[in-house]
Amino acid sequence: MRTKKANMQGSTTAVVGFGRAGQAVCRYLAACGARVLVSDMRRLDELSDAERELLERCSDGFEGGGHSTEYLSAAEKVILSPGVDYRHPALEQLRRNKIEILGELGLAADKFRAPVIAVTGTNGKTTVTELIGSMLQAAGKSVFVGGNIGTPIGEYLLAQQDCDVIVLELSSFQLELSGDFVPEVGVLLNISPDHLDRHQNLDNYAAAKLRMFQGGPENTRCVVNDDDQLCKRYLEEAGIKRCARFGFNQACEAVIEQTGPAGVSKEARISLFRNGARQVFDLSNSPMANLSGLLNGAAALLAISRFNLEQSVLEPVLRSFVPGSHRLQKVAEIDGVVYIDDSKATNTGAVINGITQVGGRVILIAGGRDKGDDYRLLRNAVAAHVKHLILIGEAADKLGQALADLAPIDYPSSMAEAVVRAAAAAKPGDTVLLSPACASFDMFENYQQRGVSFSNEVQHIAERLSAGVH
């Protein structure tokens, strides 16, 4: 039996990055008896009272305002938080000195005491992770759901009670320092350019994702999107051939059957083939009856197929599941114009998916902080559906350069102005879609705040119209 808690008495470990993940790791290391050093970009006076109390209780030293090789060299091992780039100059000398550098996933790799289902991909990770967790819980399983989804992996290490299944949403940042981590099931949803400002190129980004399968098919069941060409390309290049596949191909283990437009379907089913038998999950007229919902549902069903759960338990969960906020979420319909919040779409792949699913005539609000994406990838989707572009934030000019010949462009200075201009450009039957293709940090704290801002401004439009103000 693997044990969560290791004996680290007399050892020194540095934790770089003191956000939520780093704080959970600090608590775990202190519980194991390690001497803990903390390094963070924030100064001590910028930490909250609770964070300073945690430092006092669990750490033996703090370096604020940046990371230095001199300070970190006092440790035998360094644990990097996901938000800290492992290429940071302060870490280069540590590598040369053979000091081990891991992420929270690498730290936990030999401490999981239940089967692990790991979910990665550029888009849809959170939805699929939540869906898997919900179906397992409905079947009576005790489940830890965490990772990039919000609950740090360190919280699992700290938990006293065991669980039946561990479901982890994993980002490329977490996987690139995953150490010896090998899950029982690995789900690869899709690959499209993202975080290239950190990974430098698409090959490096994909390589980080594929570390999930480093244990080989004998240890990890690979579940993959058969319709995603980049997934197929990188799996083939890596020599990973034994996969359970989901998609429209009738040869897949989970086959999507959809009639009607690309958005909400008239009929929507998933056929799951297992042990020579076929199970049909009918999702028609449910929140999952669209392309994203079907792909996510098929991935989740394949991920849990090893547990032989009853269809009568799983299908109601699938039919009632509602994806989280800011994912192609309808905000309002005003004078025949539909307003949709897709603020979670922070890369080109997600925006292409959003534009395609919405279809029809689109006024697109996009922009924010650039992450190194190639906005020319949007050209086909924009040319097919977008009648007007509203570009905001730091990346507005770069987006404009990539798309300027395809549609008229406005460059407002705020979300309020963006929504007003979008409403002015829209006609009955059009859709105003916030789908940024960028991070939010230039104008907002996070994508949630950006989506709420959009929704509030749409509500102001509705209120002015109802009051007779144009």
pLDDT value of residue 259 = 78
Q: Is residue 2 part of a domain?
A: no
Q: What is the mean pLDDT of residues 276-300?
A: 94
Q: What is the mean pLDDT of the chain?
A: 94
* 86, 162: one domain: no
Encoded tokens for 233: 């390309």
Domain with 194 in it: what CATH number?
A: 3.40.1190.10
* 136, 245: one domain: yes
pLDDT value of residue 30 = 96
Q: What is the mean pLDDT of residues 301-327?
A: 95
Domain with 347 in it: what CATH number?
A: 3.90.190.20
pLDDT value of residue 260 = 65
Q: 175: how many CB neighbours lie within 10 A of its CB?
A: 23
* 418, 453: one domain: yes
pLDDT value of residue 2 = 46
The answer, yes or no, to whether residue 265 has pLDDT greater than 90, is no
* 202, 342: one domain: no
Q: Is residue 22 part of a domain?
A: yes
d(CA 273, CA 107): 36
pTM: 0.89
The answer, yes or no, to whether residue 264 has pLDDT greater than 80, is no
pLDDT in tens, 364-421: 999 999 999 999 999 999 999 999 999 999 999 999 999 999 999 999 999 999 999 9
Which has more pLDDT, 264 or 398?
A: 398
* 233, 124: one domain: yes
* 122, 241: one domain: yes
pLDDT in tens, 10-67: 899 999 999 999 999 999 999 999 999 999 999 999 999 999 999 999 999 999 999 9
The answer, yes or no, to whether residue 275 has pLDDT greater than 90, is no
* 77, 138: one domain: no
* 95, 185: one domain: no
Encoded tokens for 255: 């086959």
pLDDT in tens, 220-234: 999 999 999 999 999
Q: Find, among 15, 100, 92, the residue nearest to 61 by Cα.
A: 15
* 113, 98: one domain: no
pLDDT in tens, 80-119: 999 899 889 999 999 999 999 999 999 999 999 999 999 9
Q: What is the mean pLDDT of residues 282-302?
A: 94
**Of 37, 71, 106, which residue sits at a domain end?**
106
pLDDT in tens, 127-174: 999 999 999 999 999 999 999 998 999 999 999 888 999 999 999 999
pLDDT value of residue 89 = 92
Predicted confidence band of residue 3 (pLDDT cuts 50, 70, 90): low
d(CA 447, CA 358): 20
Domain with 51 in it: what CATH number?
A: 3.40.50.720
* 61, 113: one domain: no
Strands 254-259 and 267-274, bridge-based pairing: antiparallel
Q: Is residue 4 part of a domain?
A: no
pLDDT value of residue 194 = 86
Q: Give me the domain span that covers residue 415.
A: 329-466
Q: What percent of the chain has pLDDT over 70?
A: 97
The answer, yes or no, to whether residue 1 has pLDDT greater than 50, is no
